[in-house]
């Protein structure tokens, strides 16, 4: 039995079948290239779904993480530690946000944001002003509350009763949003580019007017940057493209660089909403995960971020000329490739694996989230494989 067959059999026997997996087991990686157990190489245009910001096994990140592992791996939030302070300080300085709560995932970050919004409103206005408006086609996570917050009917099954108090309005529909803000709403939560929903960027005018409307009505604006954050769109956070000041920003995926880490960033209105005992998580602010985050944040300086934009532009120009491609949505290194009517993005992803590139789907689009540190050589190699897949599909 091959190494792959052994792993697959073990997985089938002992790991809960909550994921459909491709018939590949990845053994190791370096930069944007990884290898399976037969030695076949793949250019990773998925970053482990937006996680490996610096690619596989970045030397500097490894050094930072390993040094911390050998110093203090965990002590709990009952004590002060240094790495989470450094990471939080960098996040605040680079965004204008005021405080950071560290969590372990995107869903958990969004849970924290929703709790904060409800408490803010309770403190200011008392009971009853607790609804959260999110957008149709959004994705906010897999906990019972974040599923309820997710604006896609397919996620609202089986797990009843869901958390109450979520209202959905279509993206880019300002009058629907205005109507929804009827005095019972404490927050509006949105992704600025809907990721899982199909790499759907919001219109700048809608985002800015929504932000104004929220400010006017003292409704908190929560921006879910779990996928768009940490350099993905060519700025540290996507909201920085829009000239808005969110009250809460959530992130995860790319801030961890491969370790589980999430953050809730609080602005002026929200920085003191949670007091001791109001919110917590045992692993939150873990020294190893936050040491890695600190390293990533140092790496993502203005020069690095402008490279993200340039690489994204380069990829677009090449992809536009490929067969079956109708257009490309997204920003920076978050790209959604529109295919000809009737084509299935999953077929392209499957063929991509054969040709040596790891791609993602987002609804009908082929989604690319390459590591931010991807080189032009790796880009060309991955795009050659993608083009080969598109020619054959």
Ligand X SMILES: *Cc1c(COP(=O)(O)O)cnc(C)c1O
For residue 306, count other CB atoms closer than 10 A to its CB: 12
For ligand X, the closer of residues 169 and 325 by Cβ is 169
CB of 107 vs ligand X, minimal distance in Å: 3
For ligand X, the closer of residues 49 and 62 by Cβ is 49
For residue 315, count other CB atoms closer than 10 A to its CB: 26
Out of 224, 247, 329, 387, the residue judged to bind ligand X by CB under 6 A: 224
**What is the DSSP track for 290-357?**
HHHHHHHHHH--HHHHHHHHHHHHHHHHHHHTSTTEEEEEEETTEEEEEEPTT--HHHHHHHHHHHTE
For ligand X, the closer of residues 29 and 195 by Cβ is 195
| Residues 6 or more apart in contact with residue 203 via CB below 8 angstroms | 172
Site string for ligand X, 191-220 (x = CB under 6 A): x---xx------------------------
Find the distance separating the first CA and the last CA of the chain, reported in whole Å: 31
Instruction: Report residue 391 as tokens.
Output: 């020619």
Question: Please, are residues 270 and 249 in contact by the beta-carbon 8 Å criterion?
Answer: no
Total residues at the site for ligand X (CB under 6 A)?
Answer: 15
For ligand X, the closer of residues 191 and 387 by Cβ is 191
CB of 240 vs ligand X, minimal distance in Å: 17
Out of 61, 120, 139, 295, the residue judged to bind ligand X by CB under 6 A: 139
CB of 247 vs ligand X, minimal distance in Å: 17
For ligand X, the closer of residues 31 and 106 by Cβ is 106
Rg (CA), the chain: 21
Query: Would you call 64 helix, strand, or coil by DSSP?
Result: helix
Q: Name the DSSP class of 253.
A: G
Out of 129, 140, 355, 381, the residue judged to bind ligand X by CB under 6 A: 140
For ligand X, the closer of residues 97 and 252 by Cβ is 252
Of 6, 364, 382, nearest to 197 (Cα)? Answer: 364
Residue carrying the six token digits 């924290």? 112
Which helix (H) or strand (E) covers residue 293, if one does? helix 287-299
Q: Which of the ranges 36-44, 136-144, 178-186, 378-386 carries the binding residues for ligand X, by CB under 6 A?
A: 136-144
For ligand X, the closer of residues 29 and 262 by Cβ is 262
Site string for ligand X, 103-132 (x = CB under 6 A): --xxx--x----------------------
Instruction: Report residue 297 as tokens.
Output: 């944040």
CB of 35 vs ligand X, minimal distance in Å: 25
227 binds ligand X (CB under 6 A): yes
155 binds ligand X (CB under 6 A): no
Q: Which of the ranges 100-108, 154-162, 314-322, 324-332 carries the binding residues for ligand X, by CB under 6 A?
A: 100-108
Question: Please, are residues 271 and 67 in contact by the beta-carbon 8 Å criterion?
Answer: no
CB of 380 vs ligand X, minimal distance in Å: 27
For ligand X, the closer of residues 108 and 378 by Cβ is 108
| Residues 6 or more apart in contact with residue 35 via CB below 8 angstroms | 26, 27, 28, 29, 41, 42
101 binds ligand X (CB under 6 A): no
For ligand X, the closer of residues 199 and 300 by Cβ is 199
* Spatial distance between the Cα atoms of 217 and 73, rounded to a whole number of angstroms: 44
CB of 197 vs ligand X, minimal distance in Å: 9
Measured from each CB, the residue nearest to ligand X is 106
Q: Which of the ranges 90-98, 119-127, 133-141, 168-176 carries the binding residues for ligand X, by CB under 6 A?
A: 133-141
ω into 161 cis (within 30 of 0): yes
For ligand X, the closer of residues 54 and 149 by Cβ is 149
For residue 217, count other CB atoms closer than 10 A to its CB: 14
Instruction: Name the burial class of residue 85, with classes exposed (0-12), middle (13-18) and buried (19+) by CB atoms within 10 angstroms of its CB.
Output: middle
Cα dist from 18 to 45, 46, 55, 137, 301, whole Å = 23, 20, 26, 22, 38
Residues 236-265 contacting ligand X, CB under 6 A: 252-253
Q: Which residues bind ligand X (CB under 6 A)?
A: 105-107, 110, 139-141, 191, 195-196, 224, 226-227, 252-253
């Amino acid at each position: 039995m091959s190494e792959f067959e052994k792993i697959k059999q073990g997985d089938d026997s002992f790991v809960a079948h909550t994921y459909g997996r491709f018939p590949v087991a990845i053994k190791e990686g370096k930069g944007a290239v990884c290898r399976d157990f037969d030695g076949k190489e793949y250019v990773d245009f998925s970053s482990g779904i937006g996680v490996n910001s610096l690619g596989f096994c970045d030397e500097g990140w490894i050094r930072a993480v390993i040094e911390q592992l050998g110093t203090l791996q965990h002590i709990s939030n009952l004590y002060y530690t240094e790495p989470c302070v450094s990471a939080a300080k960098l996040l605040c300085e680079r965004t204008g946000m005021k405080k950071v709560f560290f969590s372990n995932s995107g869903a958990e970050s969004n849970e924290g944001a929703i709790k904060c919004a409800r408490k803010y409103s309770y403190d200011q206005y008392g009971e009853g002003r607790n609804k959260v408006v999110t957008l149709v086609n959004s994705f906010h996570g897999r906990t019972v509350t974040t599923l309820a917050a997710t604006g896609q009917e397919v996620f609202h099954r089986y797990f009843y009763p869901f958390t109450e108090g979520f209202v959905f309005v279509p993206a880019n529909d300002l009058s629907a949003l205005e109507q929804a803000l009827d005095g019972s709403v404490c927050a509006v939560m949105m992704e600025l580019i809907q990721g899982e929903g199909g790499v759907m960027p919001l219109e700048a005018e809608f985002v800015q007017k929504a932000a104004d409307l929220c400010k006017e009505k003292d409704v908190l604006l929560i921006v879910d940057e779990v996928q768009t954050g940490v350099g993905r769109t060519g700025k540290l956070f996507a909201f920085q493209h829009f000239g808005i000041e969110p009250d809460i920003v959530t992130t995860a995926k790319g801030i961890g660089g491969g370790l589980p880490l999430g953050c809730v960033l609080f602005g002026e209105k929200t920085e003191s909403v949670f007091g001791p005992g109001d919110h917590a998580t045992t692993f939150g602010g873990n020294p190893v995960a936050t040491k890695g985050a600190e390293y990533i944040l140092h790496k993502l300086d203005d020069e690095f971020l402008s490279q993200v934009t340039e690489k994204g532009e380069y990829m677009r120009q090449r992809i536009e000329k490929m067969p079956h491609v109708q257009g490309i949505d997204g920003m920076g290194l978050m790209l959604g490739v529109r295919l000809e009517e009737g084509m299935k993005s999953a077929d392209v992803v499957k063929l991509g694996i054969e040709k040596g590139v790891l791609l993602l789907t987002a609804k009908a689009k082929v989604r690319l989230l390459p590591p931010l540190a991807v080189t032009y050589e790796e880009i060309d190699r991955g795009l050659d494989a993608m083009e080969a897949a598109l020619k054959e599909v």
